[in-house]
Structure 1
Amino acid sequence: MKLVSDHIVEGRPGPTNPLAYPVPAGIDLTDIHAFTRGQPWDDFARMRAEAPVMWHDGPRGGIGFWAVTGYDDVKRVNGDPETFSSETGGILMSLGPVETRHPILFSASTNSMINLDARPHRQLRKEHMPYFTATYMKGLRARVSGEVTRLLDTMAPLGTCDFVEKLAQRLPIFTLCEMLGVPESDRERFIGWIHFLEMAQQVALEQIDQLAGLSEPSPQIAAFIEMFNKNVAEMFDYGRAMLAKRRADPQSDLMSAIANAEVEGERLPGEYLDGAWLLIVFAGNDTTRNSLSGAMKLFTEFPDQKARLQADPALLTNAVHEITRMVSPVIYMRRTATKEVELNGQRIADGEKVIMYYGAANRDARVFPDPDRFDIGRANAEKNIAFGYGPHICIGRMTAQLQLEEAYRQIFARFPDIRWTGEIDIAPNNFVHAVRRLEVAFTPEKVAQAA
C-alpha cells in the first residue's frame, strides 16, 4: 500500500487565474492566536457576502489557498473527491518546512484514512464500520449514560467547576476507550496526549519562527517542546503496543478492527497503523469534547432555548443537531484540485489548494435563516455539515450525537440552573475549536435537595 507521505503534492503558489472576487481587507485565517477568541464569524459573513471563493495567502509565506465559505460550495468540494482530492496534498492547511516537521506526526497525519481517496478509502472505512452502526451505538448508550452519571456525581457537591476538566474531556475518552478496549488503568493518559496534540500547531510555528530568525530560543519554549515530543512518543509507543497485541490476539473491539484491517488484500503497514491511532485518539475525542463545552456556552447565551429544552425534553435530538451546527468544532478541511475547475465563478487551477470552512457554511443564511440564532427547534438543523459531507463524512458522528444527548439529558435534570460563568480558555488552533477550560456555576445538588 503506497504511502501518502511519499507522493504528497505541496501545491502551487497561486493564484493562477484572475480573481473573480476582490479580497476583503483585514482577514487572516492563518493566525492561530486569533482563534483563541473563537471562530471569526464576522469575517466568515463578509467572505460569504463579498468573496465566497476567496484567495488567501499562505501562512509564513507558504502556499496560498482558496477559502470556501458558502454552504453549497463546501458541499460541492466535499462531495467530489475526484476533482478535490484529500490524498494529493493532505487535509491540513500547511505541512510546514521539511526541517521542522515532526517525523512521526507528519507521517501519521498524512498516512491515514482521512487522507485517502476512492477505493482505498472505502475499503478502510468499511473495516471500521461495525463499530459505528446504529446497532453498536444502541449497546454503547447504556455505558455512556452510566459514565455521565458518575461524572456528574463528582460535580454535584461543588457549585462551581471547570466543565472541561470534570466532564467534557472525560466522557469522550471513556467512550473511545470502551470502543477500543483500552484498560481502565490507562485511560487517564489520554487527557495529556490530547492536550499536547492540540498544541502541535503552536510548537511547529515556534520552530518555524526560530528557523527564520523571527524569535529567539528560550528555556521555556525548549522545555515545552521537549515535553511535547516526550508525550507524542509515548502516545505512539502505547498505540503500537496495543495494536500489536490485537494482531496477535484479536478481540471484539475497534482496536482489533484497526490492527487487522486489510486494503487490497494486505494488512496496513506500520505508517498507516500510526495514522489510524492518531486519527482515532484525536478525532474521537476532540470534536465531542468541544461540542459538549460549546453547548454549555450556547445554552447560557440563549437562556430561552435552555428553558425550552427543559420544558420539552423531546427536543433533545434536534437540539444536538443545532448545537453541532452552531459550534462546528472542526474548523476546516483542505483539498487539492486535480484539474482546472470553476467554483462559484472562480477558476481554480490544477494543484491549487481549496479549504472548506464548515462553521462558515453552517451559518449561511440562504440555508439557515437567522443563522447566528441558536434555535433548538430549527426545522433543518440536521442539514448542518459540521461532520462533513459525501464520502468523507465523519464516521463517528453518531457517537458524538449519542454522548451529547446522554450528557445534556442528565445535566439539566440534575443541575437545572447550571450556567457558564464567562470564564473560558481556547487553544491557539485554527484547525479545531479547542476549548481547554470553561467554568460553570450551579446550585450544588445536596443544597438543592435540602432546600
Structure 2
Amino acid sequence: LIRQRTQDVLDQLPVDEPFDWVSNVSIELTARMLATLLDFPYEQRRKLVYWSDVAAASPETTGGQVKRDEFFPAVAEVARSFSELWRDKEARRNAGEEPGFDVISMMVNNEDTKDLIHRPMEFLGNLALLIVGGNDTTRNSMTGGVLALNRFPKEFDKLKANPALIPNMVSEIIRWQTPLAYMRRVAKQDVELNGETIRKGDKVVMWYASGNRDERAIDKPDEFII
C-alpha cells in the first residue's frame, strides 16, 4: 500500500516544469500515510497535517507563534474527530466486526488502552504524539533527502548505480537532515553532567542537530555520504 501510494503521488507530478516538492510530495504522502495508519477519513487527510503544524507551533509547548484563537479550536476538533472515530470502532467491534490493523482499532481492542477515551488528557496526548511525530519526521526527511541528493550529486549517482544502498541512504538522511532538531525535558532531580550542574526543575534541551553534526564523532559531518 505504501509503495502504491508513493507511486501514485510521484506519477501525478508535472514533467519539465517547476513544482513544490514539499507540498506535492512530502506533505501529501505523509498525510496519506497518517490517514491510513489511523484509519482517518482519507478525503480529510490534510487536516492531520494542519493539526500537527498547529500543535508543534503552540507557545505553551514549543514557544511557537500560533495564536490561542487558532490553537484551542484545532485541539478541540482533534478531540471531537477522534472521539467519533473511536466510538465508531467500538460500535463495529460490539457488532461482531473483525478489528482492522490501524492504530485506533488496535487501541480500542487492547486491554491496556481500551478505556483510553475515558482519560481525555492521555487520549489527546497520545493522538498528538502520533500525529505530530508521524508528520514532522516523515515530511522533513523526504524533503531533506531530496535536498541532500541534489547537493551531493555523486552520492545520487552512487545510489542509482546500486539501489542496495537505500538503507544506508535512509539512515544518512536522518543524520544529515535531522528531521527533529531538538527535544526539551525538565530535570526531576539535581544532577551533574560533564562538569555542569543541572538543578531539579531546570529545562534541558537535547539538540539532535548538534549531535548529528558532531565533528568529534563523525568524519566530514557536514557532507552527505551514503
Q: Which AA in structure 2 matches 1:362?
A: N
| 2:80 match | 237
| 1:200 match | 58
User: Structure 1 residues 299, 346: closer, same or farther in 2, change over 3 A?
Assistant: same
| 1:43 match | none
| 1:69 match | none
**Does the Cα contact within 8 Å between 1:338 and 1:351 map onto a contact in 2?**
yes
Question: What are the Cα deviations for residues 61-105 of structure 1, in whole angstroms up to 9, with x where unaligned?
Answer: xxxxxxxxxxxxxxxxxxxxxxxxxxxxxxxxxxxxxxxxxxxxx
| 1:288 match | 138
User: Structure 1 residues 196, 342: closer, same or farther in 2, change over 3 A?
Assistant: closer
User: Structure 1 residues 200, 304: closer, same or farther in 2, change over 3 A?
Assistant: same
| 2:37 match | 179
| 1:373 match | 223
Match 2:48 to one of 187, 190, 197 = 190
Aligned mates of 1:266, 1:260 — CA distance in 2: 6
User: Structure 1 residues 311, 355: closer, same or farther in 2, change over 3 A?
Assistant: same
Question: What are the Cα deviations for residues 16-58 of structure 1, in whole angstroms up to 9, with x where unaligned?
Answer: xxxxxxxxxxxxxxxxxxxxxxxxxxxxxxxxxxxxxxxxxxx
User: Structure 1 residues 191, 333: closer, same or farther in 2, change over 3 A?
Assistant: closer
User: Structure 1 residues 322, 344: closer, same or farther in 2, change over 3 A?
Assistant: same
After alignment, is 352-361 or 176-185 more displaced? 176-185
User: Structure 1 residues 287, 206: closer, same or farther in 2, change over 3 A?
Assistant: closer
Q: Give the alignment's TM-score, normalised by structure 2.
A: 0.84
Aligned mates of 1:325, 1:205 — CA distance in 2: 24
| 1:157 match | 15
Aligned mates of 1:290, 1:240 — CA distance in 2: 29
Following TM superposition, by how much is the alpha carbon of 1:204 offset from its aligned partner in structure 2, in angstroms?
6.4
| 1:358 match | 208
Following TM superposition, by how much is the alpha carbon of 1:158 offset from its aligned partner in structure 2, in angstroms?
5.6
User: Structure 1 residues 230, 363: closer, same or farther in 2, change over 3 A?
Assistant: same
Match 1:259 to one of 108, 112, 117 = 108
Aligned length: 217
Higher RCO, 1 vs 2 (CA within 8 Å, ≥6 residues apart): 1
Aligned mates of 2:158, 2:177 — CA distance in 1: 19
Match 1:347 to one of 180, 197, 212 = 197
Following TM superposition, by how much is the alpha carbon of 1:181 offset from its aligned partner in structure 2, in angstroms?
1.8
Following TM superposition, by how much is the alpha carbon of 1:148 offset from its aligned partner in structure 2, in angstroms?
1.0
Q: Which AA in structure 2 matches 1:256?
A: S
Match 1:309 to one of 150, 159, 165 = 159
User: Structure 1 residues 373, 279: closer, same or farther in 2, change over 3 A?
Assistant: same
Following TM superposition, by how much is the alpha carbon of 1:337 offset from its aligned partner in structure 2, in angstroms?
2.6
**Does the Cα contact within 8 Å between 1:240 and 1:274 map onto a contact in 2?**
no
Identify the structure with the greater helix proportion: 2
The residue matched to 2:192 in structure 1 has which SS?
A: strand
Aligned mates of 1:285, 1:277 — CA distance in 2: 12
Aligned mates of 1:340, 1:271 — CA distance in 2: 29
**Does the Cα contact within 8 Å between 2:187 and 2:204 map onto a contact in 1?**
yes
User: Structure 1 residues 296, 346: closer, same or farther in 2, change over 3 A?
Assistant: same
Aligned mates of 1:193, 1:347 — CA distance in 2: 37
**Does the Cα contact within 8 Å between 1:258 and 1:273 map onto a contact in 2?**
no
Following TM superposition, by how much is the alpha carbon of 1:169 offset from its aligned partner in structure 2, in angstroms?
0.6
In structure 2, the gaps of 5 or more residues are 94-98
Q: Which AA in structure 1 matches 2:190?
A: E
User: Structure 1 residues 358, 187: closer, same or farther in 2, change over 3 A?
Assistant: same
The residue matched to 1:169 in structure 2 has which SS?
A: helix
User: Structure 1 residues 367, 240: closer, same or farther in 2, change over 3 A?
Assistant: same
What's the C-alpha RMSD, in Å, of the aligned pairs? 2.6
User: Structure 1 residues 348, 227: closer, same or farther in 2, change over 3 A?
Assistant: closer
User: Structure 1 residues 298, 196: closer, same or farther in 2, change over 3 A?
Assistant: same
Aligned mates of 2:16, 2:52 — CA distance in 1: 26
Q: Which AA in structure 2 matches 1:344?
A: N
The residue matched to 1:161 in structure 2 has which SS?
A: coil
Aligned mates of 1:330, 1:289 — CA distance in 2: 11
The residue matched to 2:216 in structure 1 has which SS?
A: coil
Question: What are the Cα deviations for residues 95-138 of structure 1, in whole angstroms up to 9, with x where unaligned?
Answer: xxxxxxxxxxxxxxxxxxxxxxxxxxxxxxxxxxxxxxxxxxxx
Q: Which has the larger radius of gyration?
A: 1
The residue matched to 2:12 in structure 1 has which SS?
A: helix
The residue matched to 1:335 in structure 2 has which SS?
A: strand
Q: Give the alignment's TM-score, normalised by structure 1.
A: 0.44
User: Structure 1 residues 259, 201: closer, same or farther in 2, change over 3 A?
Assistant: farther
Question: What are the Cα deviations for residues 292-317 of structure 1, in whole angstroms up to 9, with x where unaligned?
Answer: 00111111121221122122211111
**Does the Cα contact within 8 Å between 1:260 and 1:267 map onto a contact in 2?**
no
